[in-house]
Amino acid sequence: MPVDGKNNWAKTRITELLKIQYPIFQGPFGRGGSTPLLAATVSNAGGLGGYGGNDLSPEELTSVISEIRALTDKPFNINLWVSTFDEGGERLDASKHRPLIELLTPYYRELGVEPAVFADSTPYAPRNFEEQVDALIEAKPAVFSFVFGVPSDEILRRCRSEGILTAGAASTVDEAKLLEEAGVDIVVASGFEAGGHHSAFLRSEEESQIGTFALVPQIADAVKVPVVAAGGIADGRGIAAALTLGADAAQIGTAFLACDESGATDAHRQLLFKENARTTVLTRAFTGRLARGVHNKFASEMKRHEKEFAPYPAHNWIIAPLRAAALAQGRLDLVGLWAGQAARLSRHHKTDELFAALVQDTNKIYENRTL
Ligand SMILES: Cc1cc2nc3c(=O)[nH]c(=O)nc-3n(C[C@H](O)[C@H](O)[C@H](O)COP(=O)(O)O)c2cc1C
């Protein structure tokens, strides 16, 4: 919400806290969707660029952060996942994960590739959050954001003493309160509409499906820390609505993912501008954790088979060769292509043009408002 309650929408508690020009965050993308160029372009334009580092080793995180720093001297956000595996997903288990392999075998055959095979000796380990955090704190980005939980007191204390602001994703009011009680600086109210993984961590995702319009005002009422609205925002109307609902900034994911500077594949980016992106679905079929992407044949055929899925990230590991082959063969009907419900509002292919349009359109809305 604008700090002076007047038409100066661009001055909020978030812009004051982060010393940025506009209350616009580019949502961080895991799994290769982020690039240093995308994050730096948004930060240079006056917003907060973000990079999702959940898949990266500590060394890779260090080098990505210096790449971003080489492109901008403005604040930026690095994102990690507090919980990097679900129960049973910490190791590969041939007997337990056999049903998934059997389920996928016809798809592997169709694509002419060998199914993922593993033995006790297969090198496999989910990322270690604490080790990633050590590298992150050492590199000191302005903002450390996270999903899927609350980091330890020790981590939050170290961030505070290093001057790193923390931002935690909440999909319910209870999660937001817990983040605030732990001492997190900013709450990212993440609505059900958002593309990518559903961020619930206190209760199941199915019990935590709240739309951005309902979630933001309830979280803004429940916590004193600044709130960022995420999910279904793609243009100036969405930003103005988020600020009106009590948010101090808007986080936009899918519309930035559609830009040339993102790390999405060409096919994924092109799809976001097409009619197919109108229908999105929440499914565990692609990684083992619930995520929103464009509805396709694989998501639809997997609907009845949740019992055969493996826990995250074992599921992701087992399906990886299928994903690679499907992408190489242009079989988008078999790949998880993340997209939020507002994907079809994507209009811009260049990040700086999208950012300029967001500012201009929000300006227009506020100029026409009588308060
Ligand atoms: C491809 C993709 C990957 C994402 N990965 C992450 C992630 O690793 N961590 C995170 O906090 N949010 C992640 N998100 C959520 C975004 O940062 C952002 O909050 C969300 O996309 C906003 O909703 P929208 O897509 O409707 O704009 C991801 C979203 C997408 C589309």
Encode pLDDT of 124-150 as tens digits. 999 999 999 999 999 999 999 999 999
The CATH number of 13-85+125-259+351-367, from 3.40.190.290, 3.20.20.70, 3.90.79.10, 3.40.228.10, is: 3.20.20.70
| pLDDT number for residue 6 | 56
**Ligand 1 centre and the CA of 292: distance in Å?**
9
The three-point CA angle 199-201-202 to 5° equals 140
Q: Which of 275, 196, 278, 180 has its CA nearest to residue 230?
A: 196
Residue 146: what pLDDT? Answer: 98
Q: What stretch of H or E contains 109?
A: helix 94-111
Which residue has a Cα nearest atom 8 of ligand 1? 30
Which parts of the chain sit beneath pLDDT 50?
none
Judged by DSSP in three states, 133 sits in: helix
How long a stretch of residues is the chain?
371
CA atoms of 64 and 191, how far apart (whole Å): 28
Helix (H, G, I), strand (E, B) or coil at 225: coil
pLDDT value at position 371? 53
- Looking only at the bridges linking them, the beta strands covering 227-230 and 196-197 are unpaired
The confidence score (pLDDT) of residue 116 equals 76
Ligand 1 neighbour 238 (Cβ under 6 A): no
pLDDT in tens, 32-80: 999 999 999 999 999 999 999 999 999 999 999 999 999 999 999 999 9
d(CA 255, CA 109): 35
User: How does DSSP classify residue 25?
Assistant: E
Distance, in Å, from the CA atom of 111 to the CA atom of 96, rounded to the nearest integer, reads 25
Angle at 144 between CA 265 and CA 38, to 5 degrees: 30
Cβ atoms of 215 and 189 closer than 8 Å:
yes
* CB-based contacts of 256-259 (< 8 A; 24+ apart in sequence): 256/26, 256/27, 256/38, 256/42, 256/351, 256/354, 257/29, 257/33, 257/195, 257/338, 257/339, 258/343, 258/346, 258/348, 258/349, 259/38, 259/348, 259/349, 259/350, 259/351, 259/354
Residue 44 Cα to ligand 1 midpoint, Å, equals 20
Query: If you take atom 20 of ligand 1, which residue's CA is the nearest one?
Result: 253
Q: Which of 190, 210, 237, 254 to mutate to test the pocket of ligand 1 (most atoms within 8 A of CB)?
A: 254
Task: Measure 195 CA to ligand 1 centroid, in angstroms.
Answer: 5
Pocket test for ligand 1, best of 25, 29, 48 (most atoms within 8 A of CB): 29
Show me where the domains of the chain are located.
13-85+125-259+351-367
- Residue 368: predicted pLDDT: 85
Q: Which two tokens stand for residue 144?
A: 């450390």
339, 292 Cβ separation under 8 angstroms: yes
Report whether residue 336 contacts ligand 1, using a CB cutoff of 6 Å.
no
Q: Is 225 in the pocket of ligand 1 (CB under 6 A)?
A: no
Strand ranges (DSSP E) for the chain?
24-26, 49-52, 76-81, 143-147, 165-170, 186-190, 196-197, 227-230, 249-252, 280-283, 291-294
SS3 51: strand
Nearest CA, atom 21, ligand 1: 253
